[in-house]
Amino acid sequence: MPVIPLLPLFHKFNSLYFENSLAVNNQPLVKVRWSDNRLKTTAGLYKRKRINGLVDSEIILSKPILSKLSNSEINSTLCHEMIHAWVDRVLKKNEIHGPNFLGKMSEINEKEKYFEISVRHSFPIERRELKYIGTCQNCGEKFSYRKRIKNIACKKCCVNFFKGSWNKNCLILFD
């Protein structure tokens, strides 16, 4: 299946579910694009960076993964990433799949008939083996990873003790 243009979908979902808060004068607050065939282990991502004091952010959808799937999966993934953008750019909160994200996801899922947004997808993706063990320095729970990740925190501890926000007391340390 050829890839579909993302900007019209972005504007449609922005109007339907985000009260046009992700655009100013019909210009998106975030760039929206297909990956250049390198994004192979996740269906999409939202990323931001600060350049000379200005926030630059973008939503990238995986061409290798989503081009083989239906429009429903593309819509779901785009909305998922738009929620991340909304939490970051509109609410100005620093959370991943925290309470604001989950609330907006539930709100959209109640209204939407043709697709469902979830925190995790089950699209077919080739994965490398899990070869690293990380331990939460707060609760001691162990987690398996494909690579070592810097500054990752235990979600359960962050939710239970810090209202879903990342906290250094919940860092996962690798052996």
According to DSSP, residue 171 is labeled B
Q: Give me the pLDDT at residue 129, please.
A: 80
Domains and CATH numbers, the chain: 7-111 (3.30.2010.10), 132-174 (no CATH)
CA distance to 69, 75, 132, per residue, from 11 (Å):
21, 12, 41
What's the predicted TM-score (pTM) here?
0.71
Q: What is the pLDDT of residue 2?
A: 59
pLDDT digit string (tens) for the chain, length 175 residues: 557 899 999 999 999 999 999 999 989 999 999 998 888 888 999 999 888 888 889 999 999 889 888 899 999 999 999 999 999 999 999 998 999 999 999 999 999 999 999 998 877 777 678 889 999 999 999 999 888 999 999 999 999 999 889 999 999 999 8
DSSP secondary structure string for all residues of 97-160: SSHHHHHHHHHHHHH-SS----SS-----------EEEEETTT--EEEESS--TT-B-HHHHHH
Indicate left, alpha or beta for 29 from its phi (over 0: left) and psi (-120 to 50: alpha): alpha
The catalytic residue among 73, 81, 95, 107 is 81
CB contact at 8 A, 10 and 77: no
The sheet with strand 142-145 has its strands ordered as 142-145, 132-136, 172-174
100-130 tens-digit pLDDT: 999 999 999 999 999 999 998 877 777 678 8
Active site residue 19: no
